[in-house]
Structure 1
Amino acid sequence: MHELVIRPDWAQQIGQVRASLTEDTNIIRWGNTFYRCCRSGAPVALRVVTPDRTVALSLEMRPNDLYITRVGLATEMGRYGSLTSELFVSAPKFEHAVRSLAAGSVHGDQAFGLRSLVVFCVAEALRFDSLAHDVGFALLSVNVAGGARAMPLGHWWPTVHAWGQACDAVWAELDVDLRRASLLPAALRKGQDRTRSARATYSRMSADLLNAARGAAVLKLP
């Protein structure tokens, strides 16, 4: 069980979960670091916990694309709601979402909006490390001078919406050998498969796909 506590070190916590759930690749991404890759397997259990650890919200995630299929008592997450881009992240808002969903005290559109907020802060943060840092900054105290302001999700909406297509575009530009090697579990790579690497190619991507591909830390399986 992976546990994420609502606090300002969100990016560090997400980084640890990301490293556990994904594999290294030999594909150099924007910024001269390497993409990680999703892996196949059984659904993964996670939970988000309030800072005082008195309330925990259970999640279930598909490892092959980091899609959260279940949040708390909901049987199926479904797609984000049409108003997700109007939501915002702050420590009080995030804690309220976890407490309400764990207690089953919200229903209908309100519950769906809060589920979307939780999924955004977990799944999209796993996919985009810079978003994880943004969420962490939003979780700083808002009650002190210079404290963080709530982060609107709308800023990230076009980028996260394009993640799946951006991943497909990155895979499509790779040569056959690099693609094959990067899809092998790291422990099974031998010889040139361990050392072969190349930069991702972005030149033929549209603006939205380019932003998503450059910002992504993880590629879904093709």
Structure 2
Amino acid sequence: MHELVIRPDWALQISQLRSRLTEDTNLISWGNTFYRCCHSGPPVPLLVATSDRRVALPLRLRPSDLYITQIGSVTDMGRYGSLTGELSVSAPKLEHAVRSLTGGTVHGDKAFELRSLVVFCVAEALRFDSLAHDIGFALRTSGVAGGAKAMPLSRWWPTVHAWGQACDAIWSGLDGDLRRASLLPQTSRTGADRTRSGRVAYEGMSGVVLEAAKHAAALKRPAA
């Protein structure tokens, strides 16, 4: 069972979880780091806990694309609602979401909104390291003198929507040997596959797909 605790080191926790859930690749990204690749396999159990750990919300996450298949007792999260772009995050707001969903004190559209906030802060942070750092900053500063406002998530909205397209564009732009090697677990790579690397070509991408490709830390596993 993996656990994420709502506290200022959110980005570090997300990075550690991403490392456990994904494989390193030899694909060089826009920022001169290496993309990570999702695993295939059964859903992984997670807990999102409040800062005192007395309340925790269970999740299940699909490793192949970091999609959350279950949150609490709800087994069909579906897509984000049309108003999710208006969401904002702070430590009190995220803790409120976890407490309310765990306690079953919210229903209907309000419950869907709070589920969306939790899913956004977990799944999208796993996909985008920059977003994980933005959320961590919001969790660090929400209690500072002067009462920092909750951080709007709207600027990330177009980018997270384009993640799947960006992953498809990255995989389709690779030559066959590099793609095959990148999809192998590190422990299964032998010979040239252990050192085979390449820089991702971004020339054929534009707009939000390019932005998503630049910012992505993990790539979904291609269907074939």
Match of 1:165 in 2: 165
Match of 2:179 in 1: 179
CA distance in 1: counterparts of 2:138 and 2:193, whole angstroms: 40
In the alignment of these two chains, the number of paired residues is 222
Q: Residues 204-219 of structure 1: matches in 2 within 5 Å?
A: 204-219=204-219
CA distance in 2: counterparts of 1:143 and 1:196, whole angstroms: 47
**1:62–1:68 Cα contact (<8 Å) kept:** yes
Alignment-mate amino acid for residue 56 of structure 1:
A
CA distance in 2: counterparts of 1:188 and 1:152, whole angstroms: 42
Q: Residues 74-93 of structure 1: matches in 2 within 5 Å?
A: 74-93=74-93
CA distance in 2: counterparts of 1:74 and 1:142, whole angstroms: 29
The alignment partner of 2:140 has SS state of coil
Unpaired runs of at least 5, structure 1: none
Runs of 4+ off more than 2 Å: 141-149
Match of 1:131 in 2: 131
The alignment partner of 1:40 has SS state of coil
Alignment-mate amino acid for residue 58 of structure 2:
S
Match of 1:49 in 2: 49
User: Matched residues, percent identical?
Assistant: 73
Match of 1:118 in 2: 118
Match of 1:96 in 2: 96
Unpaired runs of at least 5, structure 2: none
Alignment-mate amino acid for residue 131 of structure 2:
L
Match of 1:59 in 2: 59
The alignment partner of 1:140 has SS state of helix
Deviation at 1:30, TM superposition (A): 1.1
Match of 1:31 in 2: 31
Match of 1:17 in 2: 17
CA distance in 2: counterparts of 1:146 and 1:167, whole angstroms: 41
Residue by residue, what CA displacement relative to the aligned partner does 1:146-195 show, whole Å, maximum 9, x if unpaired? 76531111110000000000000000100000000000011000011010
Deviation at 1:144, TM superposition (A): 2.4
Deviation at 1:206, TM superposition (A): 1.9
Q: CA, structure 1 residues 23+147, in 2 after alignment: closer, same or farther (shift >3 Å)?
A: farther
CA distance in 2: counterparts of 1:160 and 1:146, whole angstroms: 31
CA distance in 2: counterparts of 1:191 and 1:26, whole angstroms: 14
The alignment partner of 1:46 has SS state of strand
